[in-house]
Amino acid sequence: MAAATITAKLVRSGLDVAVSHLPDDVVRLATLCLLDYAGVALAGVSDPAARILREQAVEEGRGPCAVIGHSARLSATQAALVNGTAGHALDYDDVHMSLPGHVSVTVLPAVLALAEARDLPPREVIAAFVGGFETACRIGLLVAPGHYARGFHATATIGSFAAALACAHLLRLDEARTVHALGIAGAQAAGLKAQFGTMCKPLHAGKAAQNGVLAALLAERGFEACADILGGSQAFAEAMSDDVNPEAALAPPPAGFHLRDNLFKFHASCYGTHGLIEAVRKLRERGVTESNVAVLTARVGSVNDKMCNIPAPRSSTEAKFSLRLMGAYALRGIDTARLDAFEEATIAAPEIVRLRDRISIVPEQALTMTQAVVTARLADGREETAEHDASSPERDLDRLARRLRQKFLALAAPVQGDAQAAQLADTMMNFAALPVAGTLMRGLAAVRAA
């Protein structure tokens, strides 16, 4: 008998996830991912990228699935596309360094839309989400670091496979059909980092979610594809990475589940800027301010240079990918958790621009995407240095839950009102107890009266 392919092995691993066998903390983390995704999606519905895509989808027809923050009803594939794009429009959703990229925003819109269309229970959604999440991380490790270094946006490419696996899990497809689902996803997976700072970056997340739903639905009907889309000759890994490591993909996660190492954002900007923000905040706590600093030099990972180093951003989208601007915000004490910090008037304010232009970014191969070492040369000639690595996940889940609930309320209340937002937060924290997933989606679609 021929040895199982890497695709078959990862499919089996993903499909083996059952909610009845998941540790309590993993189930809780899955609900926190849901809470975080829902908040950023609700806040993202008014973003131009999300609005334009929603208008296009509504013109194309109705369906059984809810659109977050809107009264429209769409097909499962279109709802996944629109809700996934809204969830990434603000670049405020969680990340995982194994890709590196955003997993929740590709998998959750897919499984929530499909579960609503099929009247499926939340416990099955949780199991499918975890299966898809773990698969995304394993595929990320399969092609790291070459895939991302070549310029591919892993959220779009690997996210398509993750969403496909999760949707196949939800539909209870067997291993053979799920292998075909991943093959179909591979026919659609695309996305380039050149799109960072444009409307197409959030579209990448929406497309990945849509790709996954379509792949699983077609596989369910008998559509066939490549038998080893991940590891075969001229398949995904070989074509899209100089580094192919099946051993890393199949190895047990260091923390038992990759989900345990998920990173949540508390700054509304690219995660590559977070190490710098935190390092500058440490300097500010030591008395370094815009009035006494002459030059600020930030050493960051070389990968950040092509990811989030837009020197003079002009729009809110570009601002989220500007290390210099985020450094200026942190030094000035501007709260980068607030969405209004990214309004164009703030970005272009003369005092902000002057401060931004006193910051120098130095990429270094020895540093990772999440690390930053910042040195301030003060007007009196002294120097102060601070560093930060944003790669450590929060292990205290009670503390994490409090912070994410606060973040959700801040994002959701302007869309749904304080009372409805608080009720929704409670619903999500008890998601597994709901009779059907559609109950939550109908709540997320509700918008308070103007």
**What pLDDT does residue 416 have?**
87
Q: Which of 205, 218, 221, 210 is nearest to 112 (CA)?
A: 210
Contact 197, 162 (CB under 8 A): no
Give the start-to-end residue ranges of the domains of the chain: 6-264+397-445, 271-389
What are φ and ψ of residue 95, in 5° steps? -140, 160
| Mean pLDDT in residue range 157-185 | 98
pTM (2 d.p.): 0.93
Band of pLDDT at residue 415, cut at 50, 70 and 90: confident
**What pLDDT does residue 1 have?**
41
pLDDT in tens, 199-221: 999 999 999 999 999 999 999 99
> Does the pLDDT of residue 430 top 70, yes or no?
yes
Collapsing DSSP to helix, strand or coil, 272 comes out as helix
pLDDT in tens, 31-63: 999 999 999 999 999 999 999 999 999 999 899
Question: Which class in CATH covers the domain with range 271-389?
Answer: alpha beta
Band of pLDDT at residue 450, cut at 50, 70 and 90: very low
pLDDT in tens, 78-105: 999 999 999 999 999 999 999 999 999 9
Band of pLDDT at residue 306, cut at 50, 70 and 90: confident
Tokens (6 digits) for 33:
């991912």
The domain made up of 6-264+397-445 has a fold known as 2-methylcitrate dehydratase PrpD (1.10.4100)
> Does the pLDDT of residue 449 top 50, yes or no?
no
The Cα 208–Cα 190 span in angstroms is 8
**What pLDDT does residue 213 have?**
98
| Mean pLDDT in residue range 109-134 | 97
pLDDT top residue among 2 and 450: 2
| Mean pLDDT in residue range 114-127 | 96
Q: Which of 407, 418, 205, 193 is nearest to 310 (CA)?
A: 193
The Cα 216–Cα 413 span in angstroms is 35
